Structure 1
């Protein structure tokens, strides 16, 4: 697999983040080195929620792991009326998300909640399982060796009949190191095999400039237990 020169800011991310110590993401947040932060909700998520024809839950609970500043969380709270939870390992990110929520004039902002926690260690009881999880740039941020564990955790956190939205990004085969780690849509197949059915797979009609020609949206439905 070929490599290409990395932009300085991406090189900084790779030099700072330790896959064995996810708390190192907080270093980048404290230094304001956040190239993944687009400053707004991704058009591809709006498209799948509003135009896919899938009947996502209009009540219930939703989760966004690796939520960062929380754009997706507030969007879900307002678009679907769910209790939306954003989770991040970085305390600085959670502080930024809380400020973003508190400054929002959107009517559903009170339904947006933020949790500082490690996704892989997070525990829920049955009645706290989620109806929807959105993985935007979390899967590409974890080391590929963690992907099977990621799938098991998704199966644990999502209730039967619930949904998982995954954004396959960045689809760049020339990138062999990370984060972000190169991925293809089929990289989700093994982690989710046996517990989820794929019900939607599409290149978005509109992407943000940073995601153009580099993303594909897939939606999965949790099987019965």
Structure 2
């Protein structure tokens, strides 16, 4: 589904055209991770890019962290920064082909990079990848949709149409702790997977 974008993303990393990359973990996700109690959680970061979230988790005792990305360069970047990060937890593949199951999925600038026509497929896929009682949490951009992305914007109401069929909405609100350039443009969310019928 996204294979045609593989070269696009590889080139962005090779040419260092990664404007979404803030060079560190974003504050809303750091604050969320800081209150997680169970370090045995199996966690996935889809479209993880340079994966500062994975690095932060790993350095704080979460050893079952996985990253999937269609581009190989950012996975290598993470491995270079964190040599102990398990090779088997770095998945160089299309997110939509990934097959494992997780307790928690963290969303950070992957959803907004997807072509809008596959947003509903993303919501369905994360539901498939989560264990019963699994959760997805993270950030979605809250600004007017544009066709000239990525990033492609969107609204809370639009996002709910994709996630509501599969998830109970626990938290979905404007971020109070965004970095200054993203102030007022981010929504923090935490959704719990609905019981499978």
What's the TM-score, normalizing by structure 2? 0.88
- Equivalent residues of 2:112, 2:153 under 8 A apart: yes
Aligned equivalents of 1:210, 1:80: Cα separation in 2: 30
- Tell me whether 1:119 sits opposite 2:103 in the alignment: no
CA RMSD of aligned residues (A): 2.1
Partner in structure 1 of residue 48 of structure 2: 67
Q: Is 1:222 paired with 2:193?
A: yes
CA distance in 2, matches of 1:43, 1:117: 27
Match of residue 23, structure 2, among 32, 39, 50: 39
Q: What do the CA deviations read for 1:147-174 (whole angstroms, capped 9, x no partner)?
A: 11111101110111111013111x2216
Residue 25 of structure 1: aligned partner? 9
Task: Report the Cα distance in structure 1 between the residues aligned to 2:179 and 2:16, rounded to whole angstroms.
Answer: 21
Tell me the residue number matched to 2:76. 95
| Aligned residue number for residue 153 of structure 1 | 125
- Give the whole-Å Cα distance in 2 for the aligned partners of 1:56 and 1:151: 26
**Structure 1 residues not aligned, in runs of 5+:** 1-18, 103-108
Aligned counterpart, 1:5: none
SS of aligned partner of 2:165: coil
Say which one has the larger Rg: 1
- Cα shift at 1:131: 0.5
Residues 220 and 56 (structure 1), Cα distance of their counterparts in 2 relative to 1, 3 Å cut: farther
Cα distance, 1:182 vs structure 2: 1.0
Gaps of 5+ in 2: none
Q: Which moved more, 1:92-101 or 1:73-82?
A: 73-82
TM-score, with structure 1 as normaliser: 0.78
Give distance in 2, aligned partners of 1:216 and 1:73: 20
For each residue in 1:122-152, what CA deviation from the matched residue of structure 2 results, as whole angstroms up to 9, or x when unmatched?
Answer: 123xxxx100001110110001100111111
- Conserved 8 A contact 1:83-1:111: no
Equivalent position of 1:4 in the other structure = none
Equivalent residues in 2 for 1:144-183, closer than 5 Å: 144-169=116-141, 171-173=142-144, 175-183=146-154
